[in-house]
Chain A
Amino acid sequence: MEFELETRRRIYEQIKKSPGIHFRELERRLQMVVGNLQYHLQYMEKKNLIRALNDGDYVRYFVKDRSLNETERKIMSFLRRSGCRHILLQLLNNPEMNNKEISQAVGLSPSTVSWNLNKLVEAGIIKREKTGRISKFTVIDPSAIAELLICYKESFLDTLVDGFIEMWEFKNSK
Chain B
Amino acid sequence: MMTEPDQIIQLVSSLLALILFVISHLAYRRERRKKLFILSLAFFFYSAMNFLDAADIFFPQAGEYPEIWGSLLNFVVLALFFLSMVTKE
Residue positions of A touching B, CB distance < 8 A: 77, 80-81, 115, 157, 160-161, 164-165, 168
A115 to B31 CA separation, bound complex (whole angstroms): 10
Chain A nearest CB from B82 CB (Å) reads 14
With A80-B30, A81-B30 as known contacts, state yes or no: A160 contacts B35, CB within 8 Å.
Answer: no
Kindly report which residue of chain B lies nearest to residue A111, judged by CB atoms.
B89
With A160-B23, A161-B23, A161-B26 as known contacts, state yes or no: A168 contacts B31, CB within 8 Å.
Answer: no
Residues of chain A with a CB closer than 8 A to B27's CB:
161, 164-165
Residues of chain B with a CB closer than 8 A to A157's CB:
26
Is there contact, CB below 8 Å, between A165 and B31? yes
A157 to B29 CA separation, bound complex (whole angstroms): 13
Main secondary structure on A side of the interface with B? helix
Candidates A81, A115, A164; contact of B24 at CB < 8 Å: A164
Residues of chain A with a CB closer than 8 A to B36's CB:
165, 168
Residues of chain A with a CB closer than 8 A to B24's CB:
164
Task: Name the interface residues of B9-66: CB closer than 8 Å to any CB of A.
Answer: 20, 23-24, 26-27, 30-31, 35-36, 39
Residue positions of B touching A, CB distance < 8 A: 20, 23-24, 26-27, 30-31, 35-36, 39, 84, 89
A80 to B29 CA separation, bound complex (whole angstroms): 12
Candidates A115, A160, A168; contact of B39 at CB < 8 Å: A168
Chain B nearest CB from A39 CB (Å) reads 36
Is there contact, CB below 8 Å, between B30 and A161? yes
Kindly report which residue of chain B lies nearest to residue A116, judged by CB atoms.
B31
Residues of chain A with a CB closer than 8 A to B84's CB:
168
Residues of chain A with a CB closer than 8 A to B31's CB:
81, 165
A161 to B29 CA separation, bound complex (whole angstroms): 10
Question: Can you give 10 A-B contacts (C-beta < 8 A)?
Answer: A77-B30, A80-B30, A81-B30, A161-B23, A161-B26, A161-B30, A164-B20, A164-B24, A165-B27, A168-B35
With contacts A80-B30, A161-B27, A168-B84 known, what are 14 further pairs, Cβ within 8 A? A77-B30, A81-B30, A160-B23, A161-B23, A161-B26, A161-B30, A164-B20, A164-B23, A164-B24, A165-B27, A165-B31, A165-B36, A168-B35, A168-B39
A98 to B20 CA separation, bound complex (whole angstroms): 36
A126 to B65 CA separation, bound complex (whole angstroms): 55
Residues of chain A with a CB closer than 8 A to B35's CB:
168
Chain A nearest CB from B9 CB (Å) reads 23
Residues of chain A with a CB closer than 8 A to B89's CB:
115
